[in-house]
Amino acid sequence: MRGVHIFLYTVFFLGIGASVWAQTVRVQGYARETLPGAAMTAAYLSFHNEGTGDMQLQSVELPDIDGAMVELHTTVDDDGVSRMRPLASLVIPAGGEVRMAPGGTHLMLHGVKLRAGEQLQLRLHFASGAVLEVEVPVRALPVAAQHHHHH
Low-confidence residues of the chain, pLDDT below 50?
Answer: 1-22, 147-151
Q: How far apart are CA 57 and CA 124, in angstroms?
A: 7
CA nearest neighbour of 34 among 109, 96, 94: 109
Q: One-letter amino acid identity for 114?
A: L
Domain ranges of the chain: 6-147
Q: Which amino acid is at 33?
A: E
DSSP classification of residue 34:
P
Residues 11-42 have pLDDT tens digits of: 333 333 333 344 688 999 999 999 999 999 99
Q: Which fold has domain 6-147?
A: Immunoglobulin-like (2.60.40)
pLDDT at 145: 55
pLDDT digits (tens, 9 = 90+) for 86-96: 999 999 999 99
CB atoms within 10 A of CB 16: 6
Read off the pTM: 0.80
Instruction: Measure the CA–CA gap between 58 and 90, rounded to whole angstroms.
Output: 7
What pLDDT, on the 0 to 100 scale, is given for residue 9? 38
